[in-house]
Structure 1
Amino acid sequence: MTPELSAFLAEHGFAGDINAASADGRFTPLMRAAKLGRLDIVEQLLALGAELNARNADGCNALWLACYNGDHALIERLLAAGVDIDNQNGNGASCLMYVASNSKPDLVKLLLDKGANPALKNFDDFSALDLAASRTCLQLLKTAR
Structure 2
Amino acid sequence: MNRRQHKKLSRRLFAAIPGGDTAVVKAVLRAGVDPDRADGVGTTPLYEASVNGKAEIVRLLLTAGASPNAESSGIGAEGTPLCAAACWGHTETVRELLAHGADVNLHEDHGTGWSPLKWANHGPHPETADLLIAAGATPGGTP
Aligned residues: 125
| Structure 2: tracts of 5 or more residues without a match | 137-143
For 1:51, give the aligned amino acid.
Answer: D
- Identity, in percent, stands at 23
- TM-score by length of structure 1 reads 0.73
Residue 140 of structure 1 corresponds to: 131
- How far 1:100 moved relative to its partner? 0.6
Pair 1:71 & 2:57 matched: no
Q: Relative contact order, CA 8 A, sep 6+: which one is greater?
A: 2
Please give the secondary structure, in 2, of the residue aligned with 1:30.
Answer: helix
CA distance in 2, matches of 1:130, 1:58: 26
Shift in alpha-carbon separation, 1:57–1:120, aligned structure 2, 3 A: farther
For 1:45, give the aligned amino acid.
Answer: V
Residue 98 of structure 1 corresponds to: 84
CA distance in 2, matches of 1:128, 1:45: 29
| Structure 1: tracts of 5 or more residues without a match | 1-16, 22-26
Pair 1:128 & 2:116 matched: yes
Q: Which runs of 4+ in 1 moved over 6 A?
A: none
Question: In terms of Rg, which structure is larger?
Answer: 1
CA distance in 2, matches of 1:85, 1:73: 14
Shift in alpha-carbon separation, 1:77–1:129, aligned structure 2, 3 A: same
The alignment's C-alpha RMSD in Å is 2.3
CA distance in 2, matches of 1:68, 1:122: 14
- 8 Å CA contact retained: 2:36, 2:44: yes
For 2:129, give the aligned amino acid.
Answer: L
Please give the secondary structure, in 2, of the residue aligned with 1:28.
Answer: helix
- 8 Å CA contact retained: 2:54, 2:93: no
